[in-house]
């Protein structure tokens, strides 16, 4: 098991592998396997094509974002063409950790910035949790734990204002040369361990970091 220290928002998370294994219901150093949201979000495959948000994607995201409202459900039905158009512009193999391609002219980050405007009538935090399932290496999950983690650097509390600043801080953390290979290896080991246990789930580096930040406060 690759246990790596991870610097996120200028602060260190010591044993990220143990934190993610705990969330994934795998054996870890502090006790027996636990149940969190892994089986109901990460291990639930997306369907209906690479660019189409399905009811399964919305319902799975509801595990991380309790309290789906009628207007939330209507948004994903009514705005399906807009979401499909936004997703179709992202190559399936693109990732936020990359330092080539879109990142050379910031088109990648600007495309992610658009989610703050696309989330008209819905919480941006919910939208990112749904769209992460369609582009898991590209769309970070925005939530209070990540906003608070980067607040000393961004100064922002509200999701919409924090989003562009968090994106850039997170991208810089992921692109650090000393972290790139180790993070990919650690995320791969978690996915492999889960598969050996009968749970076919592959997590991206983005999701690995998100879980580590969230679990570090618990």
Per DSSP, the three-state class of 28 is strand
Partner residues linked to 31 by β-bridges? 28
Bridge-based pairing of strands 6-8 and 11-13 is antiparallel
* Domain regions of the chain by residue span: 6-216
Ranges assigned E (strand) in the chain: 6-8, 11-13
pLDDT tens for the chain, 218 residues long, are 666 788 899 999 988 999 999 999 999 988 899 999 999 999 999 987 899 999 999 999 999 998 999 999 999 999 999 999 999 999 888 888 775 555 455 788 999 999 999 999 999 999 999 999 999 999 999 999 999 999 999 999 999 999 999 999 999 898 876 777 788 888 889 988 888 766 667 899 999 999 999 999 88
Decide: 13 and 19 in contact? Cβ < 8 Å.
yes
Nearest to 146, CA basis, from 128, 166, 130: 166
Q: Confirm whether pTM is higher than 0.75.
A: yes
Give Cα separations from 212 to 100, 141, 199 (angstroms). Answer: 26, 12, 20
Distance CA 133, CA 128 (A): 9
């Amino acid at each position: 098991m690759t246990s790596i220290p991870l610097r996120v928002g200028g602060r260190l998370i010591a044993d990220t592998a143990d934190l993610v294994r705990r969330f994934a219901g795998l054996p870890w150093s502090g006790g027996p396997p636990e149940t969190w949201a892994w089986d109901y979000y990460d291990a639930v495959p997306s369907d209906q094509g690479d660019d189409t948000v399905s009811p399964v994607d919305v319902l799975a995201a509801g595990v991380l974002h309790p309290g789906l409202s009628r207007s939330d459900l209507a948004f994903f039905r009514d705005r399906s063409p807009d979401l499909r158009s936004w997703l179709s512009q992202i190559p399936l193999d693109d990732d936020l950790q990359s330092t080539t391609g879109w990142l050379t002219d910031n088109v990648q980050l600007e495309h992610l910035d658009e989610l703050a405007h696309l989330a008209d009538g819905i919480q941006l935090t919910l939208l990112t949790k749904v769209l992460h399932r369609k582009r898991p290496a590209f769309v970070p999950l925005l939530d209070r734990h990540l906003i608070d983690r980067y607040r000393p650097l961004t100064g922002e509390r509200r999701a919409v204002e924090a989003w562009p600043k968090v994106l850039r801080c997170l991208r810089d953390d992921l692109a650090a040369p000393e972290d790139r290979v180790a993070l990919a290896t650690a995320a791969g080991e978690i996915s492999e361990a889960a598969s050996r246990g009968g749970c076919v789930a592959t997590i991206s580096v983005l999701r690995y970091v998100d879980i580590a930040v969230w679990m570090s406060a618990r």
